[in-house]
Amino acid sequence: MPEMTLEDLLLTRDEVRIPNPSKPYFVCPIHPKILALPPEVREDVDIARSVFPDIYPWFLEDLLKPETPAYALVFRERLLSGEITLFRGVPEGQGRPLFLPSFFCQIICRMDLSTNVHVYYRPPDDPETRINSGLFVTSPEKAKEYLGEYFHERGNSFSGNCHCWLTHNVEAYQASLVLRNWCILYHNELLCLALA
């Protein structure tokens, strides 16, 4: 089988699922090549900030999917009417990239989020990082690239542990969408640097 290209390895929204809108958690796998980047690159606040504008169109599209809870549709209508806005500026020196142990997103997102809502990094030896083909909907070949030695194939499905970002205290579907989309965009920016 030919080696996977950068394009093949980039994460998509269809691959990183929010399996239950009523309990909107997700697990976002991190390609191991990103861990080889120097900390000053993978923890660069400017990279994390640079993807913010790209979240918005995805967010609006995601809120039209059939599984979207009614309260999130109301949130979408308020956004489209201009009654509320999704992002505010991040003052210089504030906000931390997702790669650090936690990221508090209400400084950026204009949502009713508690200060404990965040995404945090966990290494593959943590039991919380178990991922399967229900959470990461992709080909076994791509899953092997992310899970490495932890990859286990079972017929048409797979499971294993990997470097990943996990949600914490995310109760609103729209908050989970923002964080999931941000993780994917941020991850893909870092992966482009790692494979350049």
Q: What percent of the chain has pLDDT over 90?
A: 33
Mention every residue, 6+ apart, whose C-beta is less than 8 A from residue 142. Answer: 4, 8, 9, 15
CA torsion sign, 102 to 148 to 156 to 189?
positive
CA torsion sign, 33 to 34 to 40 to 41?
positive
Which contiguous run of DSSP H or E holds residue 194?
Answer: helix 173-194
Q: Per residue in 101-112, pLDDT tens?
A: 333 344 444 444
Q: Per residue in 22-52, pLDDT tens?
A: 888 899 999 999 999 988 888 777 787 788 7
| 8 A C-beta contact, residue 32 and residue 155 | no
